[in-house]
């Protein structure tokens, strides 16, 4: 059987604080406009803890999708974290793969068939959208997986995926 997919539930982000920089005077003695930035960082940056949760979620989903494609895992195991239309596409691709190269029975699977995920690179598009790339190593090759996650209420949901 396959190992259950374990994902952490992301916490709601704390409200951002606005920091006011000191008033600077220009060359003519007039004060410049006051500059405001949330928490002193660029608006696209998130706290390290939230980036870690996004990376962990994307990594788990990337590995789980590749396991589905190889016939080791059932797609129902990730239904909670994947948009319905994308899950249907994943199912269809897994069915096509199963027709071309049927998977071995579960008893014949070797340990070398396990997938190992590398570091995840997170890019926050907006506060509620993140794009993540993960390199996943298999026995024979490495695959790049790009995942788009959207924050729906309190859960990061995969809305797009591309493998190479």
Which residues, including other chains, have CB under 8 Å from residue 99's CB and lie 6 or more apart? none
Which residue stretches of 31-108 are H helix? Answer: 48-70, 84-100
The residue ranking higher by pLDDT, 24 or 75, is 75
| Whether this model's pTM surpasses 0.85 | no
In tens, the pLDDT along 82-114 reads 999 999 999 999 989 888 876 565 555 555 557
Domain definitions of the chain by residue range:
46-105+115-163
* Per-residue confidence (pLDDT) for residue 146, from 0 to 100: 96
* Per-residue confidence (pLDDT) for residue 85, from 0 to 100: 94
* Per-residue confidence (pLDDT) for residue 106, from 0 to 100: 53
* Per-residue confidence (pLDDT) for residue 28, from 0 to 100: 53
In tens, the pLDDT along 120-138 reads 999 999 999 999 999 999 8
* Per-residue confidence (pLDDT) for residue 41, from 0 to 100: 41
CATH of domain 46-105+115-163: 3.10.450
- Antiparallel, parallel or unpaired: β 18-20 and 36-38: antiparallel
Please answer whether residues 138 and 159 qualify as being in contact, where contact means their C-beta atoms are separated by less than 8 angstroms. Answer: no
Burial of 74 (0-12, 13-18, 19+ CB in 10 A): middle
In tens, the pLDDT along 17-58 reads 434 444 444 455 554 444 333 444 444 444 678 899 999 999
* Per-residue confidence (pLDDT) for residue 36, from 0 to 100: 37
């Amino acid at each position: 059987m396959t190992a259950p997919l374990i994902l952490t539930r992301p916490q709601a982000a704390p409200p951002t604080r606005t920091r006011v920089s000191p008033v600077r005077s220009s060359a003519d003695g007039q004060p410049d406009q006051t500059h405001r930035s949330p928490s002193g960082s660029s608006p696209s940056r998130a706290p390290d803890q939230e980036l870690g949760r996004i990376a962990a979620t994307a990594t788990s989903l990337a590995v789980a999708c590749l396991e589905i494609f190889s016939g080791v895992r059932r797609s129902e195991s990730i239904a909670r974290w994947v948009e319905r239309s994308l899950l249907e596409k994943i199912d269809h691709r897994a069915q096509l793969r199963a027709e071309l190269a049927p998977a071995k029975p579960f008893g014949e699977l070797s340990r070398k068939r396990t997938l190992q995920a590398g570091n995840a690179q997170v890019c926050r598009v907006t506060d509620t959208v993140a794009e993540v790339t993960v390199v996943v190593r298999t026995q024979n090759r490495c695959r790049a997986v790009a995942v788009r996650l959207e924050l729906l209420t309190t859960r990061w949901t995969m809305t797009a995926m591309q493998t190479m």
